[in-house]
C-alpha cells in the first residue's frame, strides 16, 4: 500500500517566495505567478525569508534594493547552508548597479537581472520554475 502523505510534500514545494517592498513589482510578480499556476508568498524581512526558505521553495526572488533585507549578506548565508544552497535565487536591481550585481554573484546568487529584464521575463521565469523538473 502506498502512503499518499509521502507524495503530497513534493507538490507543496512548488511555491515561490519573494522578498521585496516595491508594491508595483509585488503586483506584477503576483499576476505572473497566477499565470504560471505557481503559489507565491511575499516577505518583507530577511528573518522571514530565511524562515520560508526552510520550506524549500522552488525559487526565491529577491529585490537587491529592498531596504529591510541585507540582500548580499542573506544570499551568502543561504548559499553557505547545506539545506538551503540548492534553492534557486533570482535577484533584480537597477541596471546601473554593477558593483551590487557583482557582489550578489560572488555571494552565490544564481541569476541577477536588471529590473527591466526581470520585469519583461517574469512570466517565463516563473513558468520555467513551475514544472516538476528543476
Write out pLDDT tens, residues 16-38: 999 998 888 899 999 999 888 88
Q: Is residue 134 part of a domain?
A: no
Output the nine-digit C-alpha cell for 97. Answer: 548597479
Q: Calculate Rg over the CA atoms of the chain.
A: 15
DSSP H helix total and E strand total for the chain: 6, 5
CATH code where residue 52 lies: 3.40.50.2300
Q: Tell me the pTM.
A: 0.82
The pLDDT of residue 131: 60
Please report whether residue 36 resides in a domain: yes
Element (H, E) at 23: helix 23-35
**Does residue 4 form part of some domain?**
no
Place of cell 515561490: 16
Query: Tens digits of per-residue pLDDT, 70-96?
Result: 889 999 999 999 999 999 999 998 878
> Structural domain of residue 67, as residue ranges?
14-128
Classify residue 9: in a domain, yes or no: no
Residues 45/21, Cβ–Cβ less than 8 Å = no
- Residue 46 covered by a domain: yes
- Is residue 5 a part of any domain in this protein? no
Query: Within a domain: residue 3?
Result: no
Q: How many domains does the chain have?
A: 1
- Residue 83 resides in a domain: yes
Amino acid at each position: 500500500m502506498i502512503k499518499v502523505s509521502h507524495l503530497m510534500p513534493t507538490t507543496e514545494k512548488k511555491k515561490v517566495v519573494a522578498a521585496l517592498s516595491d508594491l508595483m513589482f509585488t503586483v506584477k510578480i503576483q499576476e505572473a505567478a497566477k499565470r504560471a499556476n505557481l503559489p507565491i508568498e511575499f516577505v518583507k524581512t530577511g528573518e522571514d525569508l530565511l524562515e520560508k526558505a526552510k520550506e524549500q521553495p522552488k525559487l526565491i526572488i529577491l529585490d537587491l534594493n529592498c531596504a529591510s533585507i541585507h540582500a548580499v549578506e542573506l544570499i551568502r548565508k543561504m548559499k553557505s547552508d547545506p539545506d538551503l544552497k540548492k534553492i534557486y535565487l533570482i535577484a533584480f536591481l537597477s541596471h546601473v548597479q554593477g558593483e551590487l550585481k557583482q557582489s550578489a554573484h560572488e555571494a552565490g546568487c544564481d541569476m541577477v537581472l536588471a529590473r527591466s529584464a526581470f520585469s519583461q521575463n517574469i512570466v517565463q521565469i516563473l513558468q520555467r520554475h513551475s514544472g516538476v523538473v528543476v
